[in-house]
Chains A and B, each alone.
Chain A
């Protein structure tokens, strides 16, 4: 700033030096030029004012206003679209939860049905199996009885032939059978 000031001072000194040397004075201080400058200033400035007020400024103002209106319009439109989107999202959310609940219900129904069916089938199967088991048990006991009866015959035959071999003569039919009967009774 100080440098600037000193340069201004130097230049002013130069101006003044030239000035005094020429003794002409500053052109700015020559009153003979005032009237023409003032008249032309008035003409041009009034023209400029009229041009600005009537032509240029309304033009720019219109454009700015139009842009502002467009921006406001677009913002309002965006707002509306956003609310529409929100509503759609809410509806979607609702239908989604409804569908989920419905699916849940359907799954439970099917599960219950399947469970009941399984129970039913299981009990039927159980009954069938029970019947088969008892049938088989009967068959087994019958077979055992038959086998036991067979054993007595076989034992009688074996004992008869053994006695025959040992003593050289056949025992009486009744004696061997009664002896085995007795032995079996003792075992049992």
Chain B
């Protein structure tokens, strides 16, 4: 049976090194480049005609724009407009990385914890910088919930701090685990198809369902990551 985790292996394509640090273009890096190229092509080519009445492709490009803009407006408010390009980039990068990873023989960039963790840390650092830039020292009050008796504060403040610090962990692990589990499961069932002979139709059927399910997960995880980014931004801008 094929190794279900072989699909996650990092293979160098173009060995590179900068100051003793490995910077090789790997299959992961190549798919990141493909992700960026696909997103840019999807949007720029879709908007090529700039039609007043959009065609199918232009509708999709506009839909993605309005979807993220709506998320940001509903969750953050008008103050969030400044961060729209960042939030939009996050959403599109994760969505396209997830969907491209569903193509056979491709590589899923977001199935690596280091990638999702780096993105989550980028969000975490950004919201912290935004909060401090907007509120200065008052940012500390974020960890002191209002309306709580003084006696419980020694318990509440550490909990608030831990929950704040665990944000990048939960963000990154959720995305990484979903991607890895789904892809592994598909591969496991795929590995059963041929050895089971005629009864291979069962795992085959499950895999057919799984493909549909994984498309849902691919979109859903990009959505969840983006919504949480928006909520954290809201907290950073409005402090509760």
Whether A122 is near chain B, meaning CB under 8 Å from some CB there, is: no
In the complex the two chains form, what is the Cα distance from A62 to B114 in whole Å? Answer: 37
Nearest residue in B to A33 (C-beta to C-beta)?
B10
- Contact yes or no, A30 B10, CB < 8 A: yes
- Interface SS of chain B: helix, strand, loop or mixed? helix
Contact of B43 among A10, A40, A60 (CB under 8 A): A60
Nearest residue in A to B9 (C-beta to C-beta)?
A27
Nearest residue in B to A49 (C-beta to C-beta)?
B89
Contact of B92 among A18, A52, A63 (CB under 8 A): A52
Residues of A near B189 (CB, < 8 A) are: 11
- Contact yes or no, B10 A27, CB < 8 A: yes
Contact of B61 among A18, A26, A37, A60 (CB under 8 A): A60
The stretch that binds A, out of B29-37, B72-80, B150-158, is: B29-37
Contact of B35 among A44, A56, A60, A64 (CB under 8 A): A44
- Contact yes or no, B50 A63, CB < 8 A: yes
The 0/1 profile, CB within 8 Å of A marked 1, for residues 1-12 of chain B is 001110011101
Q: From known contacts A41-B119, A64-B65, infer whether A18 and B4 are also in contact, taking CB-CB under 8 Å.
A: yes
- Contact yes or no, A36 B12, CB < 8 A: yes
Instruction: Give the shortest distance, in Å, between A72 (CB) and chain B (any CB).
Output: 13
Whether A128 is near chain B, meaning CB under 8 Å from some CB there, is: no
The stretch that binds A, out of B20-28, B159-167, B227-235, is: B20-28
Instruction: Give the shortest distance, in Å, between B126 (CB) and chain A (any CB).
Output: 11
Residues of A near B115 (CB, < 8 A) are: 37, 41
Whether B169 is near chain A, meaning CB under 8 Å from some CB there, is: no
The stretch that binds A, out of B98-106, B135-143, B177-185, B218-226, is: B177-185
Whether B86 is near chain A, meaning CB under 8 Å from some CB there, is: yes
Nearest residue in B to A53 (C-beta to C-beta)?
B85
- Contact yes or no, B5 A27, CB < 8 A: yes
Contact of B185 among A8, A19, A33 (CB under 8 A): A8
- Contact yes or no, B86 A70, CB < 8 A: no
- Contact yes or no, A33 B26, CB < 8 A: yes
In the complex the two chains form, what is the Cα distance from A153 to B10 in whole Å? Answer: 166
- Contact yes or no, A18 B5, CB < 8 A: yes
Residues of B near A35 (CB, < 8 A) are: 21-23
Q: From known contacts A18-B3, A36-B26, infer whether A28 and B180 are also in contact, taking CB-CB under 8 Å.
A: yes
- Contact yes or no, A48 B36, CB < 8 A: yes
- Contact yes or no, A56 B86, CB < 8 A: no
The 0/1 profile, CB within 8 Å of B marked 1, for residues 117-157 of chain A is 00000000000000000000000000000000000000000
Q: From known contacts A28-B180, A47-B36, infer whether A41 and B22 are also in contact, taking CB-CB under 8 Å.
A: no
Residues of B near A57 (CB, < 8 A) are: 65, 84-85, 88
Whether B148 is near chain A, meaning CB under 8 Å from some CB there, is: no
Residues of A near B185 (CB, < 8 A) are: 7-8, 11
* Residues of B that sit less than 8 Å from A by CB: 3-5, 8-10, 12, 16, 18, 21-26, 28-29, 32-33, 35-36, 39-40, 43-44, 47, 50-52, 54, 58, 61-62, 65-66, 84-86, 88-89, 92-93, 109, 111-115, 118-119, 122, 176, 180-181, 184-185, 188-189, 206
Known: A39-B21, A44-B32, A70-B52. 18 other contacts (CB 8 A): A7-B206, A11-B185, A12-B181, A28-B113, A29-B113, A35-B21, A36-B23, A39-B29, A41-B118, A45-B122, A48-B92, A49-B85, A52-B39, A52-B92, A56-B39, A62-B50, A63-B62, A64-B66
